[in-house]
Amino acid sequence: MLTRQSANLVALLGFGEIRVFSPQRPESLPGHAEWVQDPGCRLPITNRSAFIGLLDSEARVNALRIDRDRAFVNLIHPTAVNETATLDGNVFIDAFGFVGLEARLSPGVVLNSRTTVEHDNVIGEGVTFGTGATLCGRVEVGAHAFVGAVVRPQIRVAAHTMIGAGAVLVSDVPEAGVYFGSPARRLER
C-alpha cells in the first residue's frame, strides 16, 4: 500500500517518470510507475525524476549513487529538522519524526513515524529507524543498521546491526548482530 500511495503522491507533485527500485515487484504498483528490479541500472533521466526506495537499505543506497543529478522526493515537514542538522540527501522523515541540533544523517536514511534523533548524532548511510525509535545525544550508528529502540547518550552501534523494536540500548554494540530486550542483549544462535 505504501508504494501505491507514494507513487500517486509524486505523480500529483508533477514528477514525470516514477521508478520504484525493489528486488521484488511490489503488489500495489500503480500503472504510471515503472518497477526497476536492478537498482544499479542506468536509466534515461528527464529534467525531473522521482525515486521511491524500498526494502533493502544497501539497494537503496546503491540506487542513490547512480546519478547525483536526479531529483529525489523527500517528504519532510520544515519543523522536523533543526536548522543546524545536516541531511546529506535522500533522507526520508515520516510523520512526527524529528532531527535535532547538529545531527548528521547520511544518504538513504529512513526515519519512520515518531522517530527522534537528538543532538550531535552521526547516522551512517542506509540506516532505518523503526516507529518510535529515540536516540539520545552523541550516538553513532553504522551503515545499514536497523534501530527500533531507545538508545542512551554516547553509544556506538556497529554497521549491519539490528536493534529490535522496544529495546533499550545502554552500552556500545561493537559487532553486528540482532539485539533485543531491556537492556538490549545480543541474540545468540
pTM of the full predicted structure?
Answer: 0.67
Mean pLDDT of 51-73: 57
- Chain mean pLDDT for the chain: 79
In one-letter notation, the amino acid at residue 126 is G
Per-residue pLDDT, 108: 84
Question: Does the structure show a pLDDT above 60 at 187?
Answer: yes
Give the separation between CA 129 and CA 170, rounded to whole angstroms: 17
Tell me the per-residue pLDDT of 120-151, one tens digit each, with 9 for 90 and over. Answer: 999 999 999 999 999 999 999 999 999 999 99
List the single range of 56-70, 79-93, 156-170 with lowest mean pLDDT: 56-70
| β 156-157/140-141 pair status | parallel
List the single range of 29-43, 54-68, 91-105, 112-126 with lowest mean pLDDT: 54-68
The one-character DSSP state at 109 is: -
List the single range of 13-22, 53-62, 172-181 with lowest mean pLDDT: 53-62
List the single range of 52-56, 107-111, 149-153 with lowest mean pLDDT: 52-56
Give the separation between CA 100 and CA 153, rounded to whole angstroms: 13
Complete edge-to-edge strand list for the sheet that includes strand 98-99: 98-99, 116-117, 134-135, 150-151, 168-169
Answer with the residue of higher pLDDT: 82 or 65: 82
The one-character DSSP state at 78 is: G
